[in-house]
Amino acid sequence: MRKLLILYYLDFTFFTNNSSLNRSMLKRSFEALKQDGKGELLMPVRVGGTWWIAHTLRAVSNVLGSYKFIEAHLQQLIETSERVGSEAKAKAKAFLKMLQSKSVVYFLNYMLDVLSPLRRLSKLLQDRQAILAGQHAELSSTIKVIRKYTDSDGPNLRKVTQQDTFGELKGSDSEFVSARKHMTLVEFSCPGVVHATRIADLKQWPKSWDNLRDYGDQELQMLNKLPWSWAEIHEVMSKKFQNILPVMDLIMTISPSSAEAERGFSQLKLIKTRLRTRLSQSVLNNLLCIKLEAPSIELFDPTHAINHWNTSRPRIR
């Protein structure tokens, strides 16, 4: 059901947005059916991209919000014979059949109920000031809501089943019922550890000093039980996260500040002046390495370097 709807959105968006005739006829249907000059025509948009939750939510909302205008437009394409080819008429007939299907309309409203809490969760996960405990609480709440919708109807789906909002729908809802039963959710472990991170949220701290004295003691005890050593984390989690840990190792080697890079450019300007423009790349790299990584003059022992220079090759004395 989900893959079928994605293909429908891709084809229907291309069918509508890449034809000036279809766009103009859809706008005329909107002008003829809107009531009291109110309402807004929401053009069909594609599903996909990086922000797939927001894009899918917008696509579903646009189709449901402009359902009667799109339905009238497709019916007009089927009935009229002017300036409409047989291929466009066949596509319009297929789109109209799917749009008037009871399972499709039910599933679209079900997706709207599911995508709304997912959108709120996505915004919170992208918030840089959010605390891990707050994100986990929102995640748990979202999972409970979605799990509830697998057995009972959400607010949008309830309007469709209880009211004649979309006119006379065709077919049965068996495909929708089957698709809703096959919804799977991922379980998350370590809720106690994640909940303990709420002590980092200053907004949850008690305002009175008496309550603040003992606040967070249990959370700190739980966090102290964790293997904070990176070597211990590697030992415990290496088999489970064998691809993620090497990436985290690389990320941890990146300096959080640009001061080291700026210091390197400063030394580069001091070494490679306008009188030393013929320095080779290898010599320049060695000189920079000495300037940036070598110990101070007080701690440097030149004996090894002198012996290497004397014994590397015969020299004229």
Residue 276: which residues within 8 A CB-CB, separation 6 or more? none
At 182-213, the pLDDT tens digits run: 766 655 555 566 667 767 677 777 888 787 77
Asked whether residue 126 carries a pLDDT value surpassing 60, the answer given is yes
Please give the single-letter amino acid code of residue 130: A
Residue 170 phi/psi, 5-degree rounding, is -110, 155
Find the mean pLDDT for residues 277-296.
88
Find the mean pLDDT for residues 270-277.
88
**Helices of type H across the chain:** 2-17, 20-33, 52-65, 67-79, 86-99, 102-125, 132-149, 155-162, 174-181, 191-196, 209-213, 217-224, 230-237, 244-253, 259-271, 281-293, 303-311
- What pLDDT is recorded for position 284? 92
- What are the Cα distances from residue 111, in Å, to 5, 38, 163, 238? 11, 26, 18, 37
Residue 285 pLDDT level (bands cut at 50, 70, 90): very high
Residue 227 pLDDT level (bands cut at 50, 70, 90): low
- Interhelix angle for 102-125 vs 132-149, to 10°? 170
- Which among 67, 272, 238, 76 is positioned nearest to 167, based on CA atoms? 67
Residue 282 pLDDT level (bands cut at 50, 70, 90): very high
